[in-house]
């Protein structure tokens, strides 16, 4: 099996590293950590590892959950495995000590605990020169507004992965519009679309982390 396919398989099966006891039949065998490190050492491009091994595996995991083949605990192991791989790629996505081109406050919206996509967007924005203030997950309108008030001229970036929580983004957009802060809001996450973004009056939407950088720069006029 090719290295990229092997990493993908290990994320789907939720095998973090050789010491992990999940799943049982892979105990003692290389997990995502060892294999991603191997891919880095073999000079496979970070973009390829990220997109073809890590990100693409999560949609397979989602499909398996949807069809009842796996349940929340398995999905959680896959998320942990994905995160362990992402942590190894982080230094390549972020350049140190560069001048900030703007501040972005990111967070996953109220009611939602998914943070892999948000973290990735944060890393890419940091890599592009933004100062990123990450509020975490399950973030209320009040917390977003508090951070916006403390950071004038910043952008708010909201993430939602559940159809039931994406609606909560409108509360934040409305609060921003009702204030005189002039803060711009960009949104994203698997169930979110350009049409939804327009519907709730957000300033920008991005399908993925690369686009998020372009959209963040565009709303800042750079």
Q: Does 190 bind ligand B12 (CB under 6 A)?
A: yes
Question: Of residues 8, 22, 117, 217, which one binds ligand B12 by CB under 6 A?
Answer: 117
The residue among 59 and 179 lying less far from ligand B12, judged by its C-beta, is: 59
Site for ligand B12 in 136-155 (CB under 6 A): none
- Which parts of 5-44 interact with ligand B12 (CB under 6 A)? none
The two beta strands, 204-205 and 102-109, are unpaired
85 binds ligand B12 (CB under 6 A): no
Does 135 engage in binding with ligand B12 (CB under 6 A)? no
Q: Does 50 bind ligand B12 (CB under 6 A)?
A: no
Tokens of 80: 């942990």
| Binder among 10, 118, 141, 184 for ligand B12 (CB under 6 A) | 118
Q: Packing angle between helix 72-93 and helix 32-41, nearest 10 degrees? A: 30
Identify the residue among 26, 49, 161, 169 touching ligand B12 (CB under 6 A): 161
Task: State which residue, 28 or 71, has the beta carbon closest to ligand B12.
Answer: 71
**Residue 42, exposed/middle/buried by CB under 10 A (0-12, 13-18, 19+)?**
exposed
Decide: is 123 part of the binding site for ligand B12 (CB under 6 A): no
Intra-chain end-to-end CA distance of the chain, in Å: 44
Say which residues have a Cβ less than 8 Å from residue 47's Cβ, sequence separation at least 6.
Answer: none
Can you tell me the distance from the alpha carbon of 149 to that of 112, in angstroms, rounded to the nearest whole number? 23
Task: Answer yes or no: are the C-beta atoms of 112 and 161 closer than 8 Å.
Answer: yes
Residue 185 binds ligand B12, judged by CB under 6 A: no
Burial 183-201 (b: 16+ CB within 10 A, else e): bbbbbbbbebeeebbeebe
Out of 81, 120, 139, 175, name the contact with ligand B12 by CB under 6 A.
120
Under the rule (CB under 6 A), what is the footprint of ligand B12?
55, 58-59, 61-62, 65-66, 72, 75-76, 79, 111-118, 120-121, 157-159, 161-163, 186-191, 206, 208-209, 212
């Amino acid at each position: 099996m090719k290295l990229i396919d092997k990493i993908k398989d290990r994320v789907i099966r939720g095998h973090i590293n050789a010491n992990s006891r999940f799943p049982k039949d892979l105990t003692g065998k290389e997990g995502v950590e060892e294999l991603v490190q191997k891919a880095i050492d073999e000079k496979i491009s970070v973009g390829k590892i990220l997109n073809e091994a890590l990100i693409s595996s999560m949609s397979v995991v989602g499909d398996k959950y949807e069809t009842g083949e796996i349940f929340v605990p398995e999905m959680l192991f896959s998320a942990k495995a994905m995160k362990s791989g992402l942590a190894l790629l982080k230094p390549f996505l972020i350049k140190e000590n560069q001048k900030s081109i703007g501040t972005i406050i990111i967070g996953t919206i109220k009611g939602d605990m998914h943070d892999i996509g948000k973290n990735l967007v944060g890393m890419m924005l940091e890599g592009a020169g933004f100062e990123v203030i990450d509020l975490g997950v399950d973030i209320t309108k009040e917390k977003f507004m508090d951070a916006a008030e403390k950071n004038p001229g910043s952008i708010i970036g909201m993430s939602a992965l559940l159809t039931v929580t994406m609606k909560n983004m409108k509360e934040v957009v409305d609060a921003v519009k009702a204030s005189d802060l002039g803060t711009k809001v960009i949104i994203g996450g698997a169930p979110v679309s350009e049409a939804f973004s327009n519907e709730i009056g957000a300033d920008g939407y991005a399908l993925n982390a690369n686009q998020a950088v372009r959209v963040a720069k565009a709303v800042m006029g750079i």
